[in-house]
Amino acid sequence: MVTSVLRRIRVVVGSIGDDIHVVGITLLGHALRNAGADVIQLGIQTSPAEFVAAAVTEDADAVFVSSSNGHAGIFCPDLVAGLREAGADPILYVGGNLSVSAATPWDEVRERFARMGFDRVYPPRTLPDQAVRDLAADLRARGSSDLPEQGSQNV
Amino acid sequence: MSDQVSNEMLDLDELRAQRASVFHRQLSREPYDLDEAWDFARSNAERCGMAATLARAKSTGDTVAIPRAGVAHWDAQLELMRTLSAAGAGVVPITVDSLTRSLKFEDAAKALAQSTPDRSVLNGYPLLAHGVERTRELISSVDRPVIVRANAIDLRLVAETAFASGATGFVSGPMYATLEYSKLGSLEVSIPNWQYIFRLMGEYAAHGVPIVEDAIGFAQSGTCSVPSLMHVGVVLDALIMAGQGVKHIVPYQMLQGHVAQDVAGCLAVGTLTDEYLAKLGFGDVRTYVASSDWNGAFPSRQPDAYGLLAANVLACAIARTPVNYVKTIEEGIGVPTAAANAASIRFTRYLTHLISRQAASLISPEVQFELELNLMEARAILDAVLDMGDGDPVRGSISALAVGVLDIPFSPNVHVRGNVLPVRDADGAVRFLDRGALPLPAAALRIEAERLASRRARSGSGELSYQDVIDDLSFLEFEEPTLPEGGDPHS
């Protein structure tokens, strides 16, 4: 399953705040690692400050926040502000169940996190492979990488 | 005590010093008087002891059904225990609330004050807030042995209070509590906490109070796992228990809905635990295998939940496990009512009664196949772990975890590599999709790959993907109801 589409790319992954859901970040970590990335897995219940510290000390190219308990909106503003304060500029992704009420329209949720500063916002049931493809494309768009052209990656 | 954590037995003076320090720090009082506690606990264990109940079941081929249950109010807890006893539970539980488990004893006492017999503010029985005297009264009021159920990396005062109050069973150990339930806790820190508890149990045993300890190992919460890997955690926990003098151990097998693999798991975990206990010089330890109903998502429809319980009980009855930890037909809905608990216990007892006498005829070639695979894989990992500790399971576990020779899927713990992934094969048996750095023999890897071929072939691309792992999370649900608004999803 291992490819090298994200070789040498450094990625921080974790669930934020009071969220204990471990399956999403586990699968995301596997997918990114199998695509060649160096994955810094922060695990469940990671505070915004821990995300910022890891992004800075690990010189992360990207930060992935996965959340399932609907509380991501409470903690994510501090994460974005902390990164700005620290002068770090990783590509920011957030995904999962991002609102407490399932009745909240998805466009509203996406808009809220996009305004916060996230580069991509993923709805529930997104597969990890999507994140791998998007990260590769976003890195190329930033011109910060010598990544190979996107092909059919077996991840 | 040596500076490095090891499986060496804790010196008795060192235990005394640690008791004084823990009681002072966490409870601002002197430790319980052990001579007084042993006097009460000895006569209580003679009246109703869990070890005797399990030994009887093991020798006659019976299965003791044990539910899980706990509420805040003393009167309600007694009522609950009596109801479960009347329903046929062979041992009755006191599940401790999570504030107490996280050492917030004062907060638990406040929440207890707000609880009534009809309304529990806590998700269990606040053991420290009720205290030894009241809990002795509770345990003395039921006609079954009592197991205190809790899980955390520091349960020293919960254990002290449970044993002094007359509990003759306790749960968990460092592998499960640390690697399955804690984010930041390390084995270096949690193992000594557990060794304190196991040493204390050893002292109770030496003074005529046998206490049973459940070795849960790497039973997953919410997801499936490969049985051989679950066995490794059980055996390591058991070796650490025995190292401190625990004499009665319950090796766990979480049932996952594939009957042949589940039967094999129950048989293998008993064989492996006995084998490694003997190998490390703990041949006098008695073991009683427990099958435990599926830990993950349950069907919300009651008839479906009965079906899942039946698949679990079938495996337990064929393997003739002395214990079955019973979930309920309301597991998929929430905290079960007493009636649901009673019905599930009755159902479990009925089906084990019916099937267990046919057990020998139901050990199929597929069970033998799974059994041999489990033993081969688990021994390879266990031997590698023990080698890394020069024969010491504590040192070996710590070293092996750091390099992924010991590794589990879906762990919340930051010290776990987490490079292992399980997936079900086309028949529903659980295999390694990714084995990480686990030292599995080539023969086992070949078998694992062969068994996954049918599921690979079924997927469009011929490859297994993360979607397959995600699909497995709801493997034991079937046609989940999608009713119009206002409809009852549980009917």
Q: Domains in chain A, start-ordered, CATH in brackets?
A: 10-42+52-123 (3.40.50.280)
Q: Do B473 and A127 touch (CB under 8 A)?
A: no
- Looking at the fold, whether B331 and B412 belong to one and the same domain comes out as no
- Euclidean distance between CA atoms B263 and B259, whole angstroms: 6
Does residue B426 form part of some domain? yes
Report H helices in B210-364: 227-243, 259-279, 302-319, 338-356
- Euclidean distance between CA atoms B53 and B291, whole angstroms: 16
Helix (H) or strand (E) run with residue B461 in it: none
pLDDT score, position B3: 65
Domain containing B431 equals 365-473
Catalytic residues of A: 19, 21
Does residue B487 form part of some domain? no
- Looking at the fold, whether B189 and B43 belong to one and the same domain comes out as yes
Residues of B in contact with A53 (CB under 8 A): none
Residue-level pLDDT, tens digit, chain A, 155 residues: 556 889 999 999 999 998 888 989 999 999 999 999 999 999 999 999 999 999 999 999 999 999 988 899 999 999 999 999 999 999 999 999 998 887 889 999 999 999 999 999 999 889 999 999 999 999 999 886 555 554 444 33
DSSP B60-118: HT--EEE-----SSHHHHHHHHHHHHHHT-SSEEEEBPHHHHTT-HHHHHHHHHT--SS
The number of distinct structural domains making up chain B is 2
Do β-strands B420-424 and B430-435 pair in parallel, antiparallel, or remain unpaired? antiparallel
Q: Which residue of B has its CA nearest to A129?
A: B466
Quote the mean pLDDT of chain A. 90
The contacts found for B128-133 with CB under 8 angstroms, 24 or more apart, are B128/B27, B128/B100, B128/B157, B128/B158, B128/B161, B129/B100, B129/B105, B130/B74, B131/B161, B132/B32, B132/B37, B132/B161, B132/B164, B132/B165
Domain boundary among B310, B334, B362: B362
pLDDT score, position A133: 96
Q: Do A127 and B412 touch (CB under 8 A)?
A: no
Question: Residue B49 phi/psi, 5° resolution?
Answer: -110, 140
- Looking at the fold, whether B425 and B370 belong to one and the same domain comes out as yes
- Looking at the fold, whether B266 and B218 belong to one and the same domain comes out as yes
Buried b (16+ CB within 10 A) or exposed e, B102-116: ebbbebbbebbeebe
pLDDT score, position A151: 44
Are the C-beta atoms of residues B262 and B293 closer than 8 Å to each other?
Answer: no
- Looking at the fold, whether B94 and B222 belong to one and the same domain comes out as yes
**Spans in chain B with pLDDT lower than 70:** 1-3, 480-491
- Looking at the fold, whether B221 and B339 belong to one and the same domain comes out as yes
Distance in Å, alpha carbon of B281 to nearest chain A alpha carbon: 38
Does residue B484 form part of some domain? no
- Looking at the fold, whether B408 and B421 belong to one and the same domain comes out as yes
Instruction: Name the 3-class secondary structure at B252.
Output: strand
Measured at the alpha carbon of residue B321, what is the angle toward residues B320 and B325, in degrees to the nearest 5? 135
The count of CB pairs under 8 A between chains A and B is 42
pLDDT score, position A106: 93
pLDDT score, position A152: 41
Helix (H) or strand (E) run with residue B374 in it: helix B365-388
- Looking at the fold, whether B262 and B401 belong to one and the same domain comes out as no
- Looking at the fold, whether B87 and B209 belong to one and the same domain comes out as yes
Q: Which residue of A has its CA nearest to B224?
A: A23
Instruction: Name the 3-class secondary structure at B402.
Output: helix
CB nearest B418 (choices: A29, A127, A154): A29
- Looking at the fold, whether B315 and B451 belong to one and the same domain comes out as no
CB nearest A30 (choices: B223, B434, B463): B434
Does residue B109 form part of some domain? yes
- Euclidean distance between CA atoms B469 and B220, whole angstroms: 14
- Euclidean distance between CA atoms B201 and B198, whole angstroms: 5
- Looking at the fold, whether B102 and B157 belong to one and the same domain comes out as yes
Chain B contact residues (CB < 8 Å to A) = 183, 222-223, 409-414, 418-419, 421, 434, 463, 465-467, 469-470, 473
- Euclidean distance between CA atoms A9 and A90, whole angstroms: 11
- Euclidean distance between CA atoms A21 and A18, whole angstroms: 9
As beta bridge partners, residue A12 has A40, A63
Distance in Å, alpha carbon of A29 to nearest chain B alpha carbon: 9
- Looking at the fold, whether B356 and B369 belong to one and the same domain comes out as no
Question: Residue A11 phi/psi, 5° resolution?
Answer: -130, 130
CB nearest A23 (choices: B410, B465, B467): B410
Quote the percentage of chain A above a pLDDT of 90: 76
CATH of residue B65: 3.20.20.240
